[in-house]
Amino acid sequence: MSERPESDAATRPTASVDDLLVEPAAEPDPSLAEASAASAASAPSPWRAVVSRNRTLWITAGIAVLALVGGLLLGRFVMAPASATADDAPAPGLVTVPVAFGPLSNDVTIRSDVGFADPVEVKIDTSAISGPAVVTGQVPELGAELGPLSVALEVAGRPVITLPGELPAYRTLRFGVSGPDVVQFKEAMRGVGIDAGDPANDVFDEQAAGAVTALYAAVGYTGPASEEDGESAVRGAQDGVRSAEQALASARSALATARSGASAVEIREADNQVASARRTLDAARATDPNDAVGIGNAEDELALAQLRRQQLDVGRDTSAERGAVDAAASQLEQAQRDLTRARQEALPALPAGEVLYLTELPRRVDAVTAERGSILSGAAMTVSGATVALTGSAAEADAALLTVGATATFALPDGAEHTATVSEVTPGASGETRWQVTLQPADLTPEQIAQLQGTNVRVVIAVGATAGNVLSVPAAALTAGPGGETRVEVVDGDPRDSRAETRLVVVETGLSAGGAVEVRAVDGELAADDLVVVGR
């Protein structure tokens, strides 16, 4: 095998200038020309071999040459803006904004959930029910409203009556008890048109007990049953009173008889005894004047008869009869007290499990867990306010600007703007806790309520607003004068001309909201759409 040359250049023949500049050759021999042509055709060209083996290199070089030529041409005929001469560039103008005219307000924006106000889980006290607390009826439907005197549920055949109030029923109200729950009951009765007595008196008296019967009659139920031995106790006390009354009557009759003196018969008998004793004495003296014993006995009998007769005129001792009357009267008083107590204990009572106090009636039933025929356990239902409320939260800095009664706006599902009023602002538990904000929307249609229920809306609350249309400028347009006065610079010419004429107008500022400031001209003239300078 022959050794491969290192490169084409080593084998390529070198041509000199003399070789290239030759004299014209003589007429060639045709046979030699044909042989030479055949030899050239059969031998490969050295340049073709170089191009074939370095095609990629040649293509890259060609692209580089084209890019260089293009760059030179662009640099010759295209001029960048930065290369323009200072004489050709326009001079920078003034940055201005027009003076605005219209209402200006400062707003707090929050996100609020839309729903019925103040949801509450309803739990019913069933501890006083002797048997199982079976739900027997009056189960409300979703969306139903509970108002004063509504029956929220029926448990073991007894109603649970809805009344207005904040304090939950925690004990049975019966005669003699006192406290704030009695006051609440009397106020609730007055609210539904039943007289239970003066709420200023916190004692559950006979009038309040009588109102219980009227309450149950108003909802179509009989009053609560009294204690099992109540009626028998009343009957026994009544019998005791009658017996005491009879005993007192007898004692009083005996006293009256004693005080009336001796009867005619008693007087006659006494007179007869005196006359008989006197005749006996006269006979003894006539028979034997010396019979001292007989005469003395007769004298004693006469003296005794005369004394008895005198006693009838003086009157009898009635102390025993009076004592009997006093004892009978005391027994009657005790019997009457026993009867009063028995009657009071038999008065209608209001069981804690048969009344449900709710604030802000009417209420809407949002969920019902109680089922008819089931034993009541836990919460029976969830109720909320019958009106829609917007509830959200705000940072303390923003919430501190809000006041009850402030006006707000939010968007309805159709995009229309609707108004609402701040009804409650509740501070957070600590400085880092957001404040709760509750708003009451203006009247909504049932369709709008259905669309809004459970949604979250953007609420804009105006915390400060001008009384009407005012002039306002961006805060960047305000500058301070040498005397501390506030000024704006008004452009009278073309603001695009840096040499345009301007004038300073001293202004008084007002409400600031959203980067704009209310202004009133104090020295100089300022009108809507005037251009004020905010930058150069």
For the stretch 308-335, pLDDT in tens is: 888 776 766 778 888 999 999 999 999 8
Supply the pTM of this predicted model: 0.49
Angle between helix 180-191 and helix 206-218 axes, rounded to 10 deg = 50
To the nearest whole percent, how much of the chain has pLDDT over 90?
Answer: 46
Q: Please give the pLDDT value at position 345.
A: 82
Question: In the structure, what pLDDT confidence band is assigned to residue 230 with cuts at 50, 70 and 90?
Answer: low
How confident is the model over 30-54, as a mean pLDDT? 44
Q: Please give the pLDDT value at position 229.
A: 65
Both tokens assigned to 385:
């306010």
Residues 239-277 pLDDT 10s:
888 999 999 999 898 888 777 767 778 888 988 999 999
As a whole number of angstroms, the distance between CA 142 and CA 122 comes to 14
As a whole number of angstroms, the distance between CA 200 and CA 206 comes to 15
pLDDT of 12 higher than 50: no
pLDDT of 416 higher than 90: yes
Q: Please give the pLDDT value at position 106.
A: 84
Residues with Cβ within 8 Å of residue 270, at least 6 apart in sequence: 262, 305, 308, 309, 312
Residues 419-471 pLDDT 10s:
999 999 999 877 668 899 999 999 998 889 888 988 999 999 988 888 889 99
CB 453 within 8 A of CB 114: yes
E strands, 339-395, where? 355-358, 363-368, 379-385, 388-394
DSSP letter at 89? S
Q: Please give the pLDDT value at position 499.
A: 81
pLDDT of 181 higher than 60: yes
CB 135 within 8 A of CB 370: yes
Percent of residues in the chain assigned helix, strand, coil, to nearest 5: 40, 25, 35
pLDDT of 221 higher than 50: yes
Question: In the structure, what pLDDT confidence band is assigned to residue 62 with cuts at 50, 70 and 90?
Answer: low
Which of these ranges, 84-88, 195-199, 333-337, has the smallest mean pLDDT?
84-88
Query: What is the average pLDDT score of the chain?
Result: 81
Q: Please give the pLDDT value at position 30.
A: 42
pLDDT of 100 higher than 60: yes
Both tokens assigned to 423:
């009804």
CB 115 within 8 A of CB 101: no
Q: Please give the pLDDT value at position 143.
A: 84
Question: In the structure, what pLDDT confidence band is assigned to residue 16 with cuts at 50, 70 and 90?
Answer: very low
Residues with Cβ within 8 Å of residue 115, at least 6 apart in sequence: 384, 388, 389, 391, 453, 454
Question: In the structure, what pLDDT confidence band is assigned to residue 385 with cuts at 50, 70 and 90?
Answer: confident
Both tokens assigned to 468:
């009407």
Q: Please give the pLDDT value at position 66.
A: 59
Amino acid type, 249: A
pLDDT of 21 higher than 60: no
To the nearest whole percent, how much of the chain has pLDDT over 70?
Answer: 81
Q: Please give the pLDDT value at position 19.
A: 37
Q: Under DSSP, is residue 328 helix (H, G, I), strand (E, B) or coil?
A: helix
Residues with Cβ within 8 Å of residue 418, at least 6 apart in sequence: 409, 410, 411, 412, 441, 442, 444
